[in-house]
Chains A and B, each alone.
Chain A
Amino acid sequence: MPKIEVKNITGKVLKDLSLSVGDKEILALVGPNGAGKTTLLNVIAGLTDYSGEVLFDGMNMDRVPPHRRGVGYLFQDLALFPHMNVAANIAYGLRIRRYAPAVIGERVDELMNALHIAKLRDRFPYNLSGGEKQRVAIARAIAPFQKILLLDEPTANLDAQTAKYFRSELSVFLRRLEITTVFVIHDLLGAEEMADRIAIMHQGSIEQVAAPGDILFRPRTRVVSEFIGMPNILNCDECTVLSTGLVEVRSGSMRLVLPYEGTAMSKLAISPHDIYISDSKPPGPALNRYTGTITEIIPLRTVVRVKVLVDGNELLAELSRETFDEMKLAAGSNVHLIVKLRRLRYFEV
C-alpha cells in the first residue's frame, strides 16, 4: 500500500492531480516556477484547501487538521522560531506532543549529533549561518517521530558547493531514517542525486513520474523533454575501468572518461549546456575534448543550439547568443568541443 496517495486534487494551481508515494520512498517534485509544487506539499500537509482526496496508509486525511497528520514540513524559508534556541526549536514538536523529558532530551541529542549541530545547542536562529539553519530546521521537522517528511527546496539557501555536499548527506540521512519523503527542487541534477523517483510538474499537473534514468532517457512528453534540456543520449558500446577511479566509455568511435562508481552503464546523457564550444584548440590535456563539424544552427530566444558531428555521433551543444556571435560560427565550420566531466549523467544497467 502506498504511504501517500493524492487523488484528483484540484485547488489553487493544481488540476486534477493524482500521485502516489511508496513507503520509505524519496520522491522529488521538479518543475518550473508556478507549476504547483509547493501547493502540492501544502495539500499533503493539510495547510491549504483542496478538493480531491489525500490518503496516508489508505486512511483518508481530508478532514484531519495539519497538527494531527504527522507530517514534518521543511518550509523554504525555514522559519526557525526566533525566540527559542536551537535545542528548544528541535524539541518543540516533542514538547507539544507531551513526550517525557528524558525522551525529548535523548531525541534532540540524537538528531543534533546526526546532523552535526550539537555545538549549536544554545545558539539562537539569528546567530546561525544558512547551512546551520537548514540543519536545525530539518532536525525540528523530523524530531516528533514523523512518518512523512516534506521538504520545500531543502538546499535553496545554500551556495552551490555546500548544496551538493548537503544533498548527498541528506540523502544518506533520510534513507537511514526510513522516512517517506517528498521534496521540491528546481534543479533536475539535485533531484537525481537524492530521489528514488522524480515527478515532473507543469502548470498544476504531473507530466511524468519515473526513476531518474527513465526521465532522462525516456521522457514521455514534450514538456518533460524540454524541461530536462533535450540531452544528448549516447550508447555505451564498451566500458573500461581505469585504475584511477575513472571509467573510459566508448560510444561509436568517441571515447569519454567519467567517474567510476562501480556500476556498468548502457547509456550516457549529456545536457547541451554541459558541452563547451571553442573555435580554437583549447589548452590542456585532451581528456573529453573533441573536434567536429557544425551541421545545423538552431537560434532560440536567448541561446543558440548547435548540432555538431563528432566521430559519427551528432551532439547538441548550447551557448549564449553573445558567445555565438563572437565566434562567428556557421554550418560547416570546424569547432572544438569540451564535455564537462562532472556534469555527465549515466544510466545504470
Chain B
Amino acid sequence: MNFKKLSIAVSFTVFALYGALILSLFYYYDGAVFLETLKSSRTLFSIRLSLFTATASTIIAVIVAIPSAYALSRFRFFGRQLIDTMLELPMIVSPVALGAVVLIFFNTPTGTFIQDHGIRFIFTVYGIFLAQFIVTVGIAIRLIKAAMDEIPVRYEEVARTLGASPARAFMTVTLPLCKRGIIASSILTWAKALGEFGATITIAGSMAMKTETIPVAIFMRLASADIEGTVVLVLMLIGIGLGILYGVRLLTGRAVPV
C-alpha cells in the first residue's frame, strides 16, 4: 500500500470509529420515546437555551478575539508571550477545573461584590454564558490569529501608502481577507460552546427549565439511567451540531486565493 492510500485509509478509520459510535446509539433508539422527548417542554427549553447561549457567547468571544488576535499576530510587545501562553489555559485545564476556579473567584470579596452589585452568575443563565465564554475565548483567539497570520502584512502597508489609517487598512483589507478564517473559527468556537459541559454545570448548575443545556440534560438523563432519553438527546446534539457546521461550511465554501 502506498503512502497516499495509507493516509486515506487512516482518515477513513477515524471516520469509521465516529460512525460506529453514532450507529451504536440506534441500538437503544425508540421512535416513540424520541417523539415524546422531542415534544417535551423541558427538552425544547434545553435546545433553545443551548442554541441561544452558544450563539451569544460565540459572538462575544469573537468580538473580543478579533482585536486580540490582531495584536498578537501583528505587533511585538512586552507580555505577548505571556498572553499567548495564557490562551492555552482552557486547553490544558479541564473545563470542570475552570468552572471551579470561577466558583472560587465568586467567593472572594471581589467576586461577591460583583455578584451583589453587578450580574449574578452563579446558578443563572449568565453563568452559562460565562462558562462558555471562558472555555472558548482562548481557542477563538488562537484560531483567528492563525487566520490573520496567513495574510501578509504587505497588504496593510500598501493600504497605508494609499491613504488608509491603520484601522481602515485593517477594516478594508485584512478583515475581508481573513473573513473565511474568522467564519471557520467562529463555527468551531460555537460548536465548542454548544457542547460545553464541565464549566457550565459547575458554575450554572443543572436546574431543569432554568440552566439545563443539552449536554447537562444528557448527563442528568444518564445519571437517572434513562438510556433511551439519553440517546435521543445525544442524537439531537449531534444533528444540530453537524447540520449547522455543514451548512455554514457550504455557505462559506467559496475560496479567495491569496
> A82 with B258: in contact, given A75-B154, A96-B168 (CB under 8 Å)?
yes
Interface window among A63-71, A167-175, A198-206? A63-71
B66 at the interface (CB under 8 A from A): no
Query: How many chain-B residues does the 8 Å CB contact rule pick out?
Result: 22
A73 contact set on B, CB distance < 8 A: 157-158, 161
> A77 with B157: in contact, given A92-B162, A96-B162, A96-B172 (CB under 8 Å)?
no
Interface set, chain B 137-183, CB cutoff 8 A to A: 152, 154-155, 157-166, 168-169, 172-173, 176-177
CB distance from B34 to the nearest CB of A (A): 46
A140 at the interface (CB under 8 A from B): yes
The distance in angstroms between the C-alpha atoms of A65 and B160, with both chains bound, is 9
Contact, CB under 8 Å: A77 / B154: yes
B177 contact set on A, CB distance < 8 A: 81-83
The distance in angstroms between the C-alpha atoms of A81 and B162, with both chains bound, is 12
Contact, CB under 8 Å: B157 / A67: no
Contact, CB under 8 Å: A67 / B165: yes
Contact, CB under 8 Å: B158 / A75: yes
- Taken residue by residue from 26 to 46, chain A's Cβ proximity to chain B (1 for < 8 Å, 0 otherwise) reads as 000000000000000000010
Report the nearest B residue to A92, measured CB to CB. Answer: B162
Interface set, chain A 39-90, CB cutoff 8 A to B: 45, 47, 65-69, 71-73, 75, 77, 79, 81-83
B160 contact set on A, CB distance < 8 A: 47, 65-67
The distance in angstroms between the C-alpha atoms of A93 and B173, with both chains bound, is 12
A292 contact set on B, CB distance < 8 A: none
A69 contact set on B, CB distance < 8 A: 161
Report the nearest B residue to A42, measured CB to CB. Answer: B157
B157 contact set on A, CB distance < 8 A: 47, 66, 73, 75, 79
The distance in angstroms between the C-alpha atoms of A144 and B164, with both chains bound, is 11
B31 at the interface (CB under 8 A from A): no
A97 at the interface (CB under 8 A from B): yes
A81 contact set on B, CB distance < 8 A: 155, 158, 173, 177
B253 at the interface (CB under 8 A from A): no
- Taken residue by residue from 217 to 258, chain B's Cβ proximity to chain A (1 for < 8 Å, 0 otherwise) reads as 000000000000000000000000000000000000000111
A141 at the interface (CB under 8 A from B): yes
A126 at the interface (CB under 8 A from B): yes
> A96 with B257: in contact, given A79-B155, A82-B177, A83-B176 (CB under 8 Å)?
no
Contact, CB under 8 Å: A144 / B158: no
A67 contact set on B, CB distance < 8 A: 160-166, 169
A96 contact set on B, CB distance < 8 A: 159, 162-164, 168, 172
Report the nearest A residue to B168, measured CB to CB. Answer: A96
Number of contacts between A and B (CB, 8 Å)? Answer: 65
Most buried by A among B163, B169, B176, B258: B163
The distance in angstroms between the C-alpha atoms of A141 and B158, with both chains bound, is 8
B173 contact set on A, CB distance < 8 A: 81
Contact, CB under 8 Å: B158 / A82: no
The distance in angstroms between the C-alpha atoms of A118 and B66, with both chains bound, is 38
Contact, CB under 8 Å: B256 / A45: no
The distance in angstroms between the C-alpha atoms of A41 and B176, with both chains bound, is 28
B168 contact set on A, CB distance < 8 A: 96
Interface set, chain A 139-162, CB cutoff 8 A to B: 140-141, 143-144
A97 contact set on B, CB distance < 8 A: 163
CB distance from B14 to the nearest CB of A (A): 33
> A93 with B162: in contact, given A75-B154, A77-B154, A83-B176 (CB under 8 Å)?
yes
Contact, CB under 8 Å: B176 / A140: no
The distance in angstroms between the C-alpha atoms of A143 and B158, with both chains bound, is 13
CB distance from B162 to the nearest CB of A (A): 3
CB distance from B256 to the nearest CB of A (A): 5
> A71 with B172: in contact, given A77-B154, A81-B155, A82-B256 (CB under 8 Å)?
no
CB distance from A261 to the nearest CB of B (A): 36
- Taken residue by residue from 92 to 108, chain B's Cβ proximity to chain A (1 for < 8 Å, 0 otherwise) reads as 00000000000000000
CB distance from A325 to the nearest CB of B (A): 46
A47 contact set on B, CB distance < 8 A: 157, 160-161
Report the nearest B residue to A47, measured CB to CB. Answer: B157
The distance in angstroms between the C-alpha atoms of A69 and B163, with both chains bound, is 8
Contact, CB under 8 Å: B163 / A93: yes
Most buried by B among A65, A93, A141: A93
B176 contact set on A, CB distance < 8 A: 83
Report the nearest A residue to B257, measured CB to CB. Answer: A126
Interface set, chain A 93-119, CB cutoff 8 A to B: 93, 96-97
CB distance from A123 to the nearest CB of B (A): 13
B162 contact set on A, CB distance < 8 A: 67, 72, 92-93, 96, 140-141, 143-144
The distance in angstroms between the C-alpha atoms of A312 and B176, with both chains bound, is 69
The distance in angstroms between the C-alpha atoms of A69 and B165, with both chains bound, is 11
Instruction: Return 11 A-B CB contacts under 8 Å, by A number.
Output: A67-B162, A69-B161, A75-B157, A79-B157, A79-B158, A82-B257, A83-B256, A96-B159, A96-B163, A143-B162, A144-B162
Given A97-B163, A141-B161, 5 other A-B contacts at CB below 8 A?
A67-B161, A67-B163, A73-B161, A81-B158, A126-B257
Task: Enumerate chain B interface residues (CB-CB to A < 8 A).
Answer: 152, 154-155, 157-166, 168-169, 172-173, 176-177, 256-258
Task: Enumerate chain A interface residues (CB-CB to B < 8 A).
Answer: 45, 47, 65-69, 71-73, 75, 77, 79, 81-83, 92-93, 96-97, 126, 140-141, 143-144
Q: Please give me the 3 A-B residue pairs with the lowest Cβ-Cβ distance, nearest first.
A: A93-B162, A66-B160, A73-B161
